[in-house]
Structure 1
Amino acid sequence: MVRDFSLDTSLFPDELALLLDLMRNDRDNTGNAEAAAAADGFDWDRFYSLVRHHRLYPALYGKLHTMAEDGTVKAAIPRQWIQALRSDYQSNTFQMLKLSAEMEQLSKLFAESGIKSLVLKGPVLAADLYGDISKRTCGDLDVLVPIDRLEQAEKLLEEMGYVKDDYIETVLNDWKWRHHHITFFHLRKGMKIEVHWRLNPGPGKEPDFHALWERKRLSAITHHPVYYLGREDLFLFLVSHGARHGWSRLRWLTDIDRIARQEMDWARLLRLLDAYGYVHVGAQALILASQLLHTPVPPELKSITEDRHARRLAQDALYYIRQMINLHGETIPEDVAKYHKRHLFTLMSLQQKVLFILSFFHPYPEDAKTLALPKRLHVLYFPLRPFLWLWRKTKKQPLSQGGT
C-alpha cells in the first residue's frame, strides 16, 4: 500500500466497504461478509445495487457463490442475491461471447480492406486481465483506426448494417482533436461500436497510431488475428480513461489492480506517462488501487504516488465512488456536473491546461449557429469568436434573471 498516506473513506457506507473488501485479492474475506450480515442496518438491496452500478458482478459472483455454499457462511448472504448475481453473470457471459464474435468479424473485415485496427477494451481486455472473457462486463466494442482510414471504416460498418450516431457538430475540422470517437449502432444485433481515432478527447498529446501499432499484442481468444494495445500503452489508456470518468465505476479500478500485478516494463511506462502528461493521473490510479484494493505498487512507481497533487486527486475521486454517480446518464445533476468540470481541469498537466485554454479561441459549432457564413468564409470565425460568444451570453442573461 502507499505508505504515510490514507484516503479518508469515513463517508463510505458499510455496503461499499464490504464490496471493496470482497474485491481484494490479498486475504480471505469470509468473516467480513458474516459480520456485515449480522450488523444492524446492513442493506443487501443497496449492496446489490452497488455491485451492479460498479459492474463487478462477473468477478464477484464466483467469490460470493463459494462463500454462500460454505456451511459457516451460508446464512451470511441472502440467497436471492446470489441467484440474481448468477443471472447477471450468465447474461454477461452471453454478451461477451456475442461481442467476441462481432469483434473477430470486424477485425477480419478491416484487415481484408487494408485497415489496421486495435481493439481497446472488450473481450480482449477481459481475457488479458482476468483470464476469462466472462469475468468482466462490456457493453460495446472500442476499436482504434488511423484517422486517414476513418471514412473507409465508416463505409464498411454501414455495409454491415450499422447506423452512425451523427451527434458530432464541427466547424473548421475541430472534430479531429476535440472528439476521439464516433458511435455506430446495429439495431437488429443490439450492438454498439465506437470507432476511435484517438485514445482520449483532445486537446493534448498522446501516442500516434503508428507507435501503438508497433507495440501491439495479438489476442489468443479468436481464430482470426485480433490486435490490442501493448501492456504499457494499455496501462496509460486505462488510467487516462478511468480518471476522465472520475473512477465512478470500480470496474475500472479493478482493471488497474489486475494490470499492476502483471509483468511490465515500468521504466518504459514511466517515460510514457511523462511524455504525454499523465504521471499524476497514473499516480492517482495507483493510490486509489493501493488504498481501496490493496494493489501492490511497483517499487519503480512508488515515488510518483508520494506527490501531493496526485494524492489530492485520489481523495477527490472518492466523491464519485461513495455516491454511486453515473456520468453516462442522459442528465447529470448540476452539482455533479460542476464538480466534474473542475475535477477534469485539475487532472490536466500544465501543458494540457494551456492547450485547453487556447482551444477556447478556436471557433465552435455554436459560432456557426449564431452567425451562418459560407464555408469559404469560416476562417472569419476566428476574429469574430469573442463577439459571437459575448452575443450569446447577453442573449442568455435575461433568461437567467427571469421572474418566478
Structure 2
Amino acid sequence: MNQTFKLNQSSLSNEVLLLLDLITQDPETAQINKELVKKIDWNLFITQAFHHRIYPALLPRISQSNEIPEHVKSVLTSEFKRNTLTMLYLSAEMEKVHQLFSKESIPTLCLKGPVLAHKLYGDLSLRTSNDLDILIPMKDIEKAEALLVKEGYQKDDYIHSVLNDWRWRHHHMTYSHPVKKTKVEVHWRLSPGPGKEPGFNELWSRRVKSALPHSSVYMLGNEDLFLFLASHGARHGWSRLRWLMDIKQLMKQEMDWQLLSTLLKKNYIEHIAGQSIVLAQQLLQAECTSAAECLASTQRSQKLAQDAMFYLESMINLHTDPVPEDVSTYHQKHLFTLMSPHQKSLYFLSTLHPYAEDAKTLPLPQQLHFLYFPLRPLLVMWRKRSKHAMP
C-alpha cells in the first residue's frame, strides 16, 4: 500500500476509536487504553458495539479488565449468551433447510450465518447473525419457495416487479417463520443487478464443504467469498465494523490471489476489493500480502476508502427506514462512484426498462405492460411534476 496515504480518522468518536483499538488486539493479550477510557460515554459505547455487531468479539478482550465498568461487561455478556443460543439454533435450522433442498435436488450454497462464523472465527459464538442466506440456481426459485411455504415459512412480498425485472434488479427473496422466528433469504445472485458476477455453476464448481461439526452444507470458496463479502460491505458503506472484521479474518486464510485477481478484474470490482483492504489494513491492522497491497495502492481504492469513513463517523444505519435524506443522498452518490464504467453503462440502460413505480402511476392490464417502455419518460415526468406540486 502507498505508505503516504493515511485515512483521515479525526472525525471518529472516542467510542468508535476504543472499539477499533480493542478489536485489533489479540483477545488474550488485549490492553485497555487508559487515557481513552476516561473520555468514553459508556451507554454510547454499548450502543456502538451493538450497532457494529462486534460485541461477541469484543467481550473476550474486556472481560478481565478493571478499566471497563461492570455494567458494560454485564450487558455485553448477556447479549453474548443470547447470540450463542441464536447461532446454535440457526445452525440447526440451516441443516434442515439444506436437507430439505437436497432431497429435491436443489444445489445450495450457504453465504453467511453459522458457517461463516465458524470458518472465519473458529467459533459460532464470535459472530452475530439474524438470518440464513442461501444461494440457489434461478431455475429452482419457485421449487424452493414451495418447499419453504410447506414448512411454514411466509414470503415477505416487499419486491414489486413489472415485466419480471425482479430477476436482475434484485438478488434475493425473504421468508420468515412465524413460530420459529427464523428468517431465510433465498438468493439467486450475490448482489443486486445490473452488474457482472460469477454465475451459480461457476461458484458451485469452486464450492467447499463447511468444516462446522456435523454439517453437510457447502459454502463459497475463499476467492468467491472475498468477492462476495467485499461487494456486500461496499454496497452498505462498510457502516458496520463486523463486515471489515470478516475481511480481515478471511485475509488470514489461504487465498489464491492470482485467481482472486482474475475474478475481480473479470467482474470489474478491483477497486472495491482495494477499498476493503485499505479499510481493513488501516482500521483493523489486517496483514496484507503483496497482491493485496497492489489492489489497495490505487488512488481510486484509497479515495473510496476515505469516502466510506462517512458511515463510521455518524453510526449510520441503512437498514432502518426512513433513512435521513442527507444520508440517502450521500449513499446514492457513493454507490454510483463504486460502479465501474461497465456497470454504469448497464445501469443507464436499465433505467430504460419499466419500474414498478410506473405500474403504480398508471395501472395497466398485464397484457399491456409492454406499453410502459414508450410511456416511461412521460410517467417519470409526471411523478416529478406531482412531487414538486405537493405542499
TM-score tier after normalising by the smaller chain length: over 0.9
Of the three residues 98, 102, 112, the one matched with 1:111 is 102
Tell me the equivalent position of 1:43.
41
**Distance in 2 between the 1:357 and 1:174 partners?**
15
- Per-residue CA deviation, residues 349-374 of structure 1 (Å, 9 max, x unaligned), is 11001111111100111212222333
**Distance in 1 between the 2:117 and 2:212 partners?**
10
The 5 Å alignment of 1:274-289 reads 274-289=265-280
* Contact residue 26 and residue 294 of structure 1 kept, 8 A: no
Tell me the equivalent position of 2:300.
309
Tell me the equivalent position of 1:16.
16
Secondary structure in 2 matching 1:264: coil
Q: Once the 2 structures are TM-superposed, how far is the Cα of residue 220 of structure 1 from its aligned partner?
A: 2.4
Tell me the equivalent position of 1:71.
none
- Per-residue CA deviation, residues 307-344 of structure 1 (Å, 9 max, x unaligned), is 11111110010100121111111211110010001001
Tell me the equivalent position of 2:166.
175
Q: Once the 2 structures are TM-superposed, how far is the Cα of residue 31 of structure 1 from its aligned partner?
A: 4.3
Q: Once the 2 structures are TM-superposed, how far is the Cα of residue 120 of structure 1 from its aligned partner?
A: 0.3
Q: Aligned AA for 2:173? A: I
* Alignment pair present for 1:100 and 2:83: no
Identity %: 52
Secondary structure in 2 matching 1:30: coil
Q: TM-score, normalised by structure 2?
A: 0.97
**Distance in 2 between the 1:275 and 1:194 partners?**
27
**Is 14-23 or 295-304 further displaced after alignment?**
295-304
- Per-residue CA deviation, residues 93-117 of structure 1 (Å, 9 max, x unaligned), is 0000000000000001100111011
Tell me the equivalent position of 1:56.
54
Of the three residues 114, 122, 129, the one matched with 1:123 is 114
Q: Once the 2 structures are TM-superposed, how far is the Cα of residue 387 of structure 1 from its aligned partner?
A: 1.3
**Distance in 2 between the 1:148 and 1:281 partners?**
29
Q: Once the 2 structures are TM-superposed, how far is the Cα of residue 252 of structure 1 from its aligned partner?
A: 0.3
**Distance in 1 between the 2:20 and 2:2 partners?**
17
**Distance in 2 between the 1:149 and 1:167 partners?**
20
**Distance in 1 between the 2:291 and 2:357 partners?**
46
Q: TM-score, normalised by structure 1?
A: 0.94
Q: Cα RMSD over matched residues?
A: 1.4
Secondary structure in 1 matching 2:180: coil
**Distance in 2 between the 1:378 and 1:303 partners?**
48
* Contact residue 270 and residue 301 of structure 1 kept, 8 A: no
Secondary structure in 2 matching 1:396: helix
The 5 Å alignment of 1:263-274 reads 263-274=254-265
**Distance in 2 between the 1:102 and 1:311 partners?**
40
Change (3 A) 1:22 1:256: same
Change (3 A) 1:109 1:196: same
The 5 Å alignment of 1:74-89 reads 74=66, 76-89=67-80
- Per-residue CA deviation, residues 161-203 of structure 1 (Å, 9 max, x unaligned), is 0000011111111000000000011111110110000000000
- Per-residue CA deviation, residues 33-67 of structure 1 (Å, 9 max, x unaligned), is x2323x3x42122211111110111111111113x
Change (3 A) 1:311 1:224: closer
* Alignment pair present for 1:245 and 2:264: no
Q: Aligned AA for 2:59? A: Y
Q: Which runs of 5+ in 1 are unaligned?
A: 69-73
**Distance in 2 between the 1:62 and 1:212 partners?**
35
Q: Which runs of 5+ in 2 are unaligned?
A: none
Tell me the equivalent position of 1:3.
3
Tell me the equivalent position of 1:30.
31
**Distance in 2 between the 1:237 and 1:57 partners?**
23
**Distance in 2 between the 1:318 and 1:26 partners?**
24
Q: Aligned AA for 1:90? A: K
Q: Aligned AA for 1:60? A: L
* Alignment pair present for 1:360 and 2:351: yes
Tell me the equivalent position of 1:234.
225
Q: Aligned AA for 1:49? A: T
Q: Once the 2 structures are TM-superposed, how far is the Cα of residue 224 of structure 1 from its aligned partner?
A: 4.9
Of the three residues 276, 284, 289, the one matched with 1:293 is 284
**Distance in 1 between the 2:379 and 2:334 partners?**
28
Secondary structure in 2 matching 1:330: coil
How many residues in Structure 1 have an aligned counterpart in Structure 2? Answer: 390
Change (3 A) 1:2 1:43: farther
**Distance in 2 between the 1:301 and 1:338 partners?**
31
The 5 Å alignment of 1:188-207 reads 188-207=179-198
Q: Aligned AA for 1:50? A: Q
- Per-residue CA deviation, residues 294-317 of structure 1 (Å, 9 max, x unaligned), is 111211121221211111110010
* Contact residue 140 and residue 192 of structure 1 kept, 8 A: yes
**Distance in 2 between the 1:44 and 1:175 partners?**
44
Tell me the equivalent position of 1:147.
138
Secondary structure in 2 matching 1:263: coil
Secondary structure in 2 matching 1:286: helix
**Distance in 1 between the 2:17 and 2:127 partners?**
21
Tell me the equivalent position of 1:337.
328
Q: Aligned AA for 1:394? A: R
Tell me the equivalent position of 2:150.
159
